[in-house]
Amino acid sequence: MEKRWVLKKNADAEIVKLLSSKLNISRPLANLLAQRGVETYDEAKKFFRPELSHLHDPFLMKDMDKAVNRILTAIKKGEKIIVYGDYDVDGTTAVAVVYSFLKQFHRKTEFYIPDRYDEGYGISYKGIDYAIKSGVKLMITLDCGIKAVEKVAYAKQRGLDTIIGDHHRPGEKIPDAVAVLDSKQDDCPYPYKELSGCGVGFKLVEALGIKKGVGKDIAYEYLDLVAVSIAADIVSITGENRVLAYYGLKKINTNPSVGIYALLKSAGIKENTNPASELLWEREINVNDLVFLLGPRINAAGRIESATDSVRLLISNNMDYADKLGRQIDDLNLTRRDLDSHITQEAVNMIRDISINNKKTTVVYKDSWHKGVIGIVASRLVELFYKPTIVLTKTDELITGSARSIKNFDIYDAIDSCSHLLEHFGGHTYAAGLALKPENLELFIEEFEKYASDRIVEEMLIPEIEIDLELFISDINFKFFRIVRQFAPFGPGNMAPMFVTNNVIDTGYAKLVGRKNGQNHLKFSVVHPDRTGNPVPAIAFNQGHHLENMKKGNPFGICYHIDENTWQGNTTLQLRIMDIKF
């Protein structure tokens, strides 16, 4: 698929010059910092050396004092508390954090994860009824509840108090709960608006630690879980989230919780055999590992069976039990992958058969598709066809679906425009969920397409590669790479720097690799023909079709990330090529 290369505007030249001088770094590196809003020495120090002291006071969040007081009252009175969370990574990690903390001080604490298929997303009437029947007096919801106006009212009428901890966008009406913790509320003064659901749970634990006199540092025990939620929920890794992710990764790399340790082992990560190393693992675990190794495994339980097992794993202090659960969840992840692959292929065939490629959106439906993987399928279809996409299946009497979007198209707003046809919906700018009656499906598809067609121009349907900086090959060295690596942790709002270099040539040794596995990867080295400097090795995954042009000696442009590559004990820099243009 063709891609657009969009070069970011360079930062102010005077700011770049000053940063370069103050920090003793090259102009390109200073430009990278300034593009990220880091414009002074003090800001750079805060960026490169995050501190837990940079975290905001949890009591700045609207209703935090009410939430804490109600929880402490429940503990004092010996009331039963239930911690209720969504079944995805963010919800299960959030429940694990708050439940683990409360259980230390209050034995009458339990947790509840709704069944994806029987109850659906968010607070369910079944969950409320279970809590009431169990004698629960206080329900704390995490990663859900901000739009559950009727269900919170139902709980209140039956004597069940609710504290909502959420990070999704509120609707027009806020539920009548004891406290609503969501910094996206218009009147919430909390300075950071992009916390994950688990991040909101973490702030609640900080506040409880302060009020109980044990200190907010007690919450730091759960930083590894918060980091996993930040990565897996794809929230912005800026501001407070960057601090949380930075220290959460530190904990994962040195002293992870029992559950995270078991999951990493089940994913095939080996322990470090070097006694001199500070790392627990043979290589440093990064955000990508959380996204692609841990996230899918934690999600797999809820997608295929019950997310309750994910929480049991994350709260476990017993290594043998955690290992057993970790292996079970790994097996479920293999099942999930098979389902995901099969349904994706069915959806691709359907899209080609019904010839919807002239539309601005993709909406596909089959009543037998597994509800647990349709969100993953939607993401894969966006990668393949690059259009706002909704994948739908049948759940009981309703059609339910997951939506994923493309850059600069707010799919939440698009679905909201069709809300008169829906039973319920919720989500973010780029990901959402919805449910509707079968008789409304055709009209929904029509209105969704019309909304998108009125707002999407053709250029938006060409995938964009945003490039931070143009470099010469001679700019690339270990000092440059070591400083770039300190920009981590990477993610939305602080992506790994993307570079472009034009008019390079291959040194003559380009070749295809990975063909034994049916792959088509291109390995080569590049130089500038008119500049000094050593060749730099490069790898371009699934881009073997460029080999013939490359071997002709034609100059070309590359956009890439800079990585390290270790082979037989030797470490070299390597360009990970994202696209090539001749």
Taken in order of first residue, the domains within the chain and their CATH numbers are 58-255 (3.90.1640.30), 355-461 (3.10.310.30), 465-581 (2.40.50.460)
pLDDT-derived band at 533, boundaries 50, 70, 90: confident
**Helix/strand number for the chain, H first, E second:** 20, 19
Half-sphere exposure of 54 (CA within 13 A, CB side): 20
Task: Give me the helix-helix angle, 319-354 and 258-266, nearest 10°.
Answer: 60
Q: What is the pTM assigned to this prediction? A: 0.92
Nearest to 504 by CA among 472, 526, 533: 526
pLDDT at position 130 is: 98
pLDDT at position 518 is: 60
Q: Which residues pair with 434 in a beta bridge?
A: 401, 425
Q: Which residues pair with 574 in a beta bridge?
A: 563
- Ranges 95-104, 147-156, 267-276: which has the least confidence: 267-276
Instruction: Give the Cβ contact number of residue 316 at 10 Å.
Output: 22
Cα gap 514→521, rounded to integer Å: 6
pLDDT at position 355 is: 59
pLDDT-derived band at 120, boundaries 50, 70, 90: confident
Mean pLDDT of the chain: 95
pLDDT at position 532 is: 74
Encode pLDDT of 472-497 as tens digits. Answer: 999 999 999 999 999 999 999 999 99
**Predicted confidence (pLDDT) at residue 536 exceeds the cutoff of 60:** yes
How is 33-74 classified by DSSP, letter by letter?
Answer: HHHTT--SHHHHHHHHS--GGGSPPGGGSTTHHHHHHHHHHH
Rg (CA), the chain: 25
pLDDT-derived band at 354, boundaries 50, 70, 90: low
- Ranges 43-47, 308-312, 527-531, 554-558: which has the least confidence: 527-531
Q: Which residues pair with 82 in a beta bridge?
A: 110, 139
Q: Which residue has the tokens 């989230």?
A: 241
**Predicted confidence (pLDDT) at residue 331 exceeds the cutoff of 70:** yes
Q: Which residue has the tokens 């939620």?
A: 229
3-class DSSP state of 194:
coil
Q: Higher confidence at residue 531 or residue 412?
A: 412
Encode pLDDT of 203-250 as tens digits. Answer: 999 999 999 999 999 999 999 999 999 999 989 999 999 999 999 999
Q: What 8-state DSSP symbol labels residue 158? A: T
Please answer whether residues 264 and 294 qualify as being in contact, where contact means their C-beta atoms are separated by less than 8 angstroms. Answer: yes
3-class DSSP state of 97:
helix
Q: Which residue has the tokens 């804490």?
A: 68
pLDDT at position 566 is: 83
Of all residues in the chain, what percent carry a pLDDT higher than 90?
Answer: 90
Tokens of 63: 């209703």
How is 266-328 classified by DSSP, letter by letter?
Answer: HTTPPBP--TT-S-SBSS---HHHIIIIIHHHHHHHHHHS-THHHHHHHH---HHHHHHHHHH
Q: What is the mean pLDDT of residues 336-341?
A: 95
pLDDT-derived band at 296, boundaries 50, 70, 90: very high
Nearest to 167 by CA among 111, 220, 227, 236: 236
> Which amino acid does the sequence have at 324?
K
Q: What is the mean pLDDT of residues 9-35?
A: 96
Instruction: Give the Cβ contact number of residue 420 at 10 Å.
Output: 9
Distances (CA, A) of 105 to 78, 134, 199: 11, 20, 21
Task: Assign 3-state DSSP to the chain and report helix, strand, coil percentages, each to 5.
Answer: 45, 20, 35
Q: Which residue has the tokens 């090259």?
A: 26
Please answer whether residues 34 and 16 qualify as being in contact, where contact means their C-beta atoms are separated by less than 8 angstroms. Answer: yes
Tokens of 184: 């996206």
Tokens of 130: 């279970």
Please answer whether residues 108 and 135 qualify as being in contact, where contact means their C-beta atoms are separated by less than 8 angstroms. Answer: no
3-class DSSP state of 364:
strand
Cα gap 218→405, rounded to integer Å: 38
Nearest to 382 by CA among 363, 366, 405: 405
Question: Within its chain, how far is the Cα of 552 from the centroid?
Answer: 42
Cα gap 135→119, rounded to integer Å: 21
How is 228-282 classified by DSSP, letter by letter?
Answer: HHHHHTT---SHHHHHHHHHHHHHHHHS--HHHHHHHHHTTPPBP--TT-S-SBS
Q: Output phi, psi for 204, to 5 deg.
A: -65, -40
The answer for 160, left when phi > 0, alpha when psi is -120 to 50, beta otherwise, is: beta
Please answer whether residues 225 and 93 qualify as being in contact, where contact means their C-beta atoms are separated by less than 8 angstroms. Answer: yes
